[in-house]
Amino acid sequence: MNIIFMGTPEFAVPSLRALLEEGYRVIAVVTQPDRPKGRKRVLTPTPVKVEAEKHGIPVLQPEKLRQAESVEVLRGLKPDLIVTAAYGQILPKSVLELPEHGCINIHASLLPKYRGGAPIHHAIIRGEQVTGVTIMYMAEGLDTGDMISKVEVTIEDTDTTGSMFDKLSIAGAELLKRTLPDLLAGRLQAVPQNEAEAVYSPNIRREDEIIDWSRSAADIFNQVRGLHPFPGAYTLWNGDVMKVWACANPVSKESGDSPASRKEVHLQGASAAPGTVVNSGEQGIEVKTGNGTIWLTHIQPAGKKAMDAAQFLRGVKIPAGTVLG
């Protein structure tokens, strides 16, 4: 059984390890080309490449997989199965048809919900309480192939996209271990997706990052944790970008929304426009939204490092009445 593994970020690494731990023969890894990173623009290999090289697995990094020469290289390897996980390029039909056992993908959502490039971000931003991983046959459409197996994973109120990446990458690797023996033995029946239930999750755009204070406190809470740790939500303060890395849960008892503060908010913030600071201090910065208020607890003003909002306020005043955004 010759397997080619295709993946790029940390999310894919546990699945590659799972194949190796289970004794499958991974004859090659395909990943995105090295890219410059950081202020010094150092050429950096992908996490999957680093892991593959630890095990002495040949690595291929085509800029465009669909180019004829790339397809011919894969054809020459005679794969029996291709396993992909967050590879970052759509596989052309010429590649999908190569392996006898097909091409399967480990997708970080419960398909057909959240097809596309940012399923974890969008699941949190939309306030989902459950997401998961689906293993599916790849098709020419975007995440449209027949589903083979699924596992559900709970999204806690304390979860961010970063923590869910970790949880789902492990869940995906474990699901791959359980699925492959039955799949290769022909004991699994793939199920078509219900197109009527399909939801798309496109890559995050710059305009998705700005906080719209007219939305509810719950929506903003979900947006901030859905964009943490990358790319981050932001607002404007004194005309400069101020990243908002964390907010207190507006419905939690630990949110800082004590009876005393609620009274103060009611008096000061009832008529304030969304985006208006109504309180600030050791609990952070409390801002009026379209429905309720929310405490900003971790921020990053322009030109500074990310820090606790209370710590920032010990040196800088953001008085009530200040308007953000």
Whether the CB-CB separation of 269 and 285 falls below 8 Å is answered with no
Q: 3: which 2 tokens?
A: 């397997």
Measured in whole angstroms, how far is the alpha carbon of residue 59 from the centre of its chain?
25
The answer to whether 111 is annotated as binding is yes
Q: 14 in helix, strand or coil?
A: helix
The answer to whether 301 is annotated as binding is no
Measured in whole angstroms, how far is the alpha carbon of residue 140 from the centre of its chain?
23
DSSP code of residue 232: -
The answer to whether 261 is annotated as binding is no
What length is written for the chain?
Answer: 325
The answer to whether 267 is annotated as binding is no
CA dist 211 and 219 (Å) reads 10
Whether the CB-CB separation of 115 and 200 falls below 8 Å is answered with yes
259: left (phi over 0), alpha (psi -120 to 50) or beta: alpha
Whether the CB-CB separation of 313 and 280 falls below 8 Å is answered with yes
Which parts are annotated binding residues for (6S)-5,6,7,8-tetrahydrofolate? 109-112
Which parts are annotated binding residues? 109-112
